[in-house]
Amino acid sequence: MAYPPQSPAGAPTPGGEGQSRRSFLRTSAVFASGLAALAASLAPLRHLEDYTSLELFMQKYYKELTPEEMAKVLQRIEREVERQYGVRPHVRDLKPMNGVEFAYAHNLTRCIGCRKCVHACVAENNQSRTPEIQYIRVLRMPHGTLDVDKSEHHYDPKLVPEKGYFYMPVQCQQCKNPPCVKVCPVHATWQETDGITVIDYDWCIGCRYCEAACPYWARRFNWTKPSIPKDRLNPDMAYLGNRPRRQGVMEKCHFCIQRTRAGRYPACLEVCPTGARKFGNVLDPNSEVAYILRTKRVFIQLKEDLGTSPRFFYYFDV
Partner 1 sequence: MTRNGNTNRVLAVLTLLFSGLAVAFALRLWGRPVVLPPIPLVDPIFTNTATARVSLGLLLQTHGDTSDYDCYTCHDKKEPVKLKLDDQGNVVLPKEHSDLVMGHGSHNRNNNCYNCHDESNLEALQTRDGRHPKLAESSPLCGSCHGPTYDDWEAGAHGRISGYWDRKLGPFVRQNCVACHDPHKPAFPPRAPAPGPHLLHPIAQAAPPQERNP
Site map 55..94 versus partner 1, x via CB under 8 A: ----------------------------------------
Dihedral of CA 139/143/146/152: which sign? negative
**Could you tell me the smallest distance in angstroms from the CB atom of residue 165 to ligand HEC?**
13
Residue number with CB closer to partner 1 (12 or 131): 131
Indicate which of partner 1, ligand HEC, none lies near residue 182 (CB less than 5 to 8 Å, by partner kind): none
Decide: 141 and 166 in contact? Cβ < 8 Å: yes
Assess 301 for contact with ligand HEC (CB under 6 A): no
Assess 19 for contact with partner 1 (CB under 8 A): no
Indicate which of ligand HEC, partner 1, none lies near residue 129 (CB less than 5 to 8 Å, by partner kind): partner 1
Single-letter amino acid, residue 233: L
Indicate which of ligand HEC, partner 1, none lies near residue 40 (CB less than 5 to 8 Å, by partner kind): partner 1
What is the spatial distance between Cα 149 and Cα 126, in angstroms, rounded to a whole number? 30
**Could you tell me the smallest distance in angstroms from the CB atom of residue 267 to ligand HEC?**
16
Q: Please work out, in degrees rounded to the nearest 5, the angle formed at the alpha carbon of residue 139 by the alpha carbons of 134 and 143.
A: 170
Assess 317 for contact with ligand HEC (CB under 6 A): yes
* Nearest residue relative to ligand HEC (C-beta): 275
Assess 110 for contact with ligand HEC (CB under 6 A): yes
What is the spatial distance between Cα 226 and Cα 230, in angstroms, rounded to a whole number? 12
Which of the stretches 8-16, 171-179, 202-210, 223-231 binds partner 1 when contact is defined by CB under 8 A? 223-231
Q: Concatenated DSSP letters for 44-57?
A: GGGGGGGT--HHHH
Assess 41 for contact with partner 1 (CB under 8 A): yes
Query: What's the maximum distance between 2 C-alpha atoms anywhere in the chain?
Result: 128
Q: Which of 14, 16, 25, 30 binds partner 1 (CB under 8 A)?
A: 30
Dihedral of CA 95/267/106/132: which sign? negative
What is the spatial distance between Cα 302 and Cα 165, in angstroms, rounded to a whole number? 18
Cα-to-chain-centroid distance, residue 61 = 18
Indicate which of ligand HEC, partner 1, none lies near residue 10 (CB less than 5 to 8 Å, by partner kind): none
Query: Mapping DSSP to helix (H, G, I), strand (E, B) and coil, where does residue 96 land?
Result: coil
Cα-to-chain-centroid distance, residue 71 = 21
Q: What secondary structure letter does DSSP report for 6?
A: S
Q: How many residues bind partner 1 (CB under 8 A)?
A: 71
Residue number with CB closer to ligand HEC (16 or 273): 273
What is the spatial distance between Cα 198 and Cα 190, in angstroms, rounded to a whole number? 6
Site map 238..277 versus partner 1, x via CB under 8 A: ----------------------x-xxxx---xxxxxxx--
Decide: 201 and 251 in contact? Cβ < 8 Å: yes
* Interface of this chain with ligand HEC, residues 234 to 293, rule: CB under 6 A: 274-275
* Interface of this chain with ligand HEC, residues 19 to 78, rule: CB under 6 A: none
What is the spatial distance between Cα 207 and Cα 306, in angstroms, rounded to a whole number? 23
Assess 8 for contact with partner 1 (CB under 8 A): no
Residues that bind ligand HEC in the complex, under the rule CB under 6 A:
110, 274-275, 317
